Amino acid sequence: RPQLEPVPPIPALHASFGFSIFAFVASLYLVPALGPTFVKANLKGKDLLKIYNTPIPESIGLVCSSIYIITLLLFIPFAFSDSLSKFAHAQHPQKTQEGISVPEFPHQQLAVYLSSLLSLLIATLLGFLDDVFDIRWRHKLPIPIIASIPLLMVYYAERGNTHVVVPLPFRFLAGTLVNLGPLYYIYMSLLSTFCTNSINILAGINGSEVSQALIIAISVILNDLLYLPWSFGFRVPLHLLGSKAEVDVGGVWHAGMAYGSKELVERHLFSLYFMLPLVAVCSGFMYHNWYPARVFPGDTLCYVTGMAFAVVGIQAHFSKTLLLFFLPQIFNFILSCPQLFGLVPCPRHRVPRFDPDTNLLHPSKALFLKPPSRLSYLVLRVLATLRLTDLTVHPTNGMILEATNLTILNFFLLRFGPMNEKRLVQVLMCAQVSGSLLAFFIRYGLAGLLYDG
Ligand code: UD1
Ligand code: MG
């Protein structure tokens, strides 16, 4: 049972917090200041759910991403301040039998940090190109996979775990641990594509993209805090939930992984260094993107935030917990599949329909220009039975003429009735927060029942 040993106070974390305040102020100030420059460069969009036609600056995610990456770059010496001071204060190098020994620099951790920055830069580039050129689906899907190669290489270099622990009821079939080997790497590279695209397709109403990113980032931070040595207070409530997590945090799903407690703390610190400034830039941006939006995030923000989550999930080894924070996105993705994979027509915009007279949003519809195939018909019928879509059928021959677009936003409108845009984004945020609460329950409550410590 890994016991967390007390570690000295963490000055780099304080520095990260300080840098995040700087990032927050910078995005709060720069986002509106640079807006007109974006409009001038033709980076603008029409708010589809408003009556006015004022051009709104688009791709402002580029400003957020720049502030975020600059903050992370400036922070590098602080992240390694411990090693730097050890280097500076090193006593005279000692002569050993093998030669001269000097204090080791944590090159491995530096590689983790730099490869993460590389992936974030590629995500920014891809997002921005998508904003400018509207890249096709099949072209943009593989790019995050390629962007994740540096992450996977570093994961491999540090002999990252590729085992999964089999839940108790299935142990008689597969044993305690299954080594997925290369499959685990495929899974991690798909994670980066999922994280980036799933935020991008749950979009189109003011504040939706950034609020998802913000809530996921805060959830990741709360999860990280559970692993820091001074957060014992957090464990008591977990214990009351009947969880075993309190005695072996991190060991439930990753059993068999050779970690020392110091390593575990370091990994979650790394995650905090990447998540704190992300929360900061997103909060600053959200102030301007809140209904009625003065700026749009563009695909850049979706890609960068998504990649940031993939990066910490992979590098700090909690990709499965991370996926649990994506429950609304997973629901939206699965629901969207018939449209994404061509079974049901997919219009350029699937955002809800705006009724200017009442200022309310209604589910938007996809029109069938030709009769649906048998498979499409079956899928739509099943979805309609589950009340996930609403079909308009021909009164006499029963043919499907229209189906509401298969998104979680339309699903909310079907379930709760028409509402205004601000209310809809609040519903989405509630769903995201509930998803995170459920995630914590599954991770630290249910996992204790399905897995032994
Ligand atoms: C994705 C969705 C698409 C949705 C769009 C909205 C899929 C497969 N694609 O496409 O259905 O319509 O996002 O972002 O699900 N906009 C607003 N209000 C907002 C944010 C955006 O009206 O709060 C509009 C603006 O006109 C903006 C445009 O959406 O210019 C941006 O769309 P874009 O990000 O290019 O769409 P995709 O990501 O390709
Ligand atoms: Mg988009």
Per-residue model confidence as pLDDT tens digits over 366-387? 999 888 899 999 999 999 999 9
Q: Does ligand 1 come within 6 angstroms of the Cβ of 350?
A: yes
Ligand 1 proximity of 337 Cβ (cutoff 6 Å): no
**Cα–Cα distance measured from residue 58 to residue 60, given in angstroms and rounded to the nearest whole number:** 5
CA of 293 to the centre of ligand 1 (A): 14
Token pair in block for residue 334: 């699965």
pLDDT band, residue 337 (cuts 50/70/90): very high
Specify the higher pLDDT residue, 85 or 207. 207
Residue range 374-426, pLDDT digits in tens? 999 999 999 999 999 999 999 988 889 999 999 999 999 999 999 999 999 99
Task: Return the ligand 1 atom nearest residue 336 CA.
Answer: 15
pLDDT, tens digit, 9 for 90 and up, residues 231-255: 443 443 444 444 443 333 333 333 2
How much is the average pLDDT of 330-339? 97
Whether ligand 1 lies within 6 angstroms of the CB of 205 is answered as yes
Average pLDDT, the chain: 87
Mutate to test the pocket of ligand 1, among 48, 137, 302, 329 (most ligand atoms within 8 A of CB): 48
More confident residue, 242 or 442: 442
Give the Å distances, CA to CA, from 409 to 47, 70, 328, 412, 423: 17, 34, 10, 5, 11
What's the rounded Cα separation, in Å, for the pair 39 and 288?
Answer: 16
Instruction: Give the residue-averaged pLDDT of 209-222.
Output: 97
Asked if pLDDT for residue 53 goes beyond 70, the answer is yes
Q: Going by C-beta distance under 8 Å and a sequence separation of 6 or more, which residues neighbour residue 309?
A: 195, 216, 217, 220, 322, 325, 326
Please check the confidence at residue 257 and state whether its pLDDT lies above 90.
no
pLDDT at 90: 67
The residue-averaged pLDDT of 258-278 equals 82
91 pLDDT higher than 80:
no
What is the mean pLDDT of the segment spanning 30-44? 97
Q: How far apart are CA 47 and CA 62, in angstroms?
A: 19
Does the beta carbon of 296 lie inside 6 Å of ligand 1? yes
Ligand 1 atom nearest 298 alpha carbon? 34
Structure tokens at 438: 């459920």
What is the mean pLDDT of the segment spanning 278-284? 98
Distance (Å) of CA 418 to CA 207, 211, 389: 18, 21, 14
- The DSSP annotation for 320-387 comes to HHHHHTTHHHHHHHHHHHHHHTTSS---S--PPEEETTTTEEE--EEE-SSPPPHHHHHHHHHHHHTT
Mean pLDDT of 26-39: 98
Query: Residue 202 C-alpha to ligand 1 middle, in angstroms?
Result: 9
* Atom of ligand 1 at shortest range from CA of 349: 12
Ligand 1 atom closest to the Cα of residue 340 is 8
pLDDT over 80 at 364, yes or no? yes
Task: Quote the Cα angle for 443-446-448, to 5°.
Answer: 85
Question: What's the DSSP call for residue 160?
Answer: -
Q: Is the CB of 49 under 6 A from ligand 1?
A: yes
The residue that leads in pLDDT, 433 or 159, is 433
CA of 131 to the centre of ligand 2 (A): 8
pLDDT at 183: 93
ipTM, two decimals, is 0.98
**pLDDT, tens digit, 9 for 90 and up, residues 350-362:** 999 999 999 999 9
How far, in Å, is the centroid of ligand 1 from the Cα of 36? 20
Q: For residues 247 and 196, which has the higher predicted lDDT (pLDDT)?
A: 196
**298 CA → ligand 1 middle, Å:** 8
C-alpha to C-alpha distance for 191 and 194, rounded to whole angstroms: 5
Please report the atom of ligand 1 found closest to the CA of residue 58.
Answer: 30
Q: Kindly give, in sequence order, each residue whose CB lies less than 8 Å from that of residue 231, ignoring residues fewer than 6 positions away.
A: 225
Q: Decide if pLDDT at 39 tops 80.
A: yes
pLDDT at position 102 is: 67
Spatial separation of the C-alpha atoms in residues 88 and 75, rounded to whole Å: 19
Burial of 68 (0-12, 13-18, 19+ CB in 10 A): buried
Angle between helix 11-40 and 261-289 (nearest 10)? 30
**Range from 146-160, 243-257, 286-300 that averages highest in pLDDT:** 286-300
Mean pLDDT of 151-178: 84
pLDDT of amino acid 125: 95
Token pair in block for residue 79: 């992240």
Q: Which amino acid is at 181?
A: G
203 Cβ closer than 6 Å to some ligand 1 atom: yes
> 203 or 145, which is more confident?
203
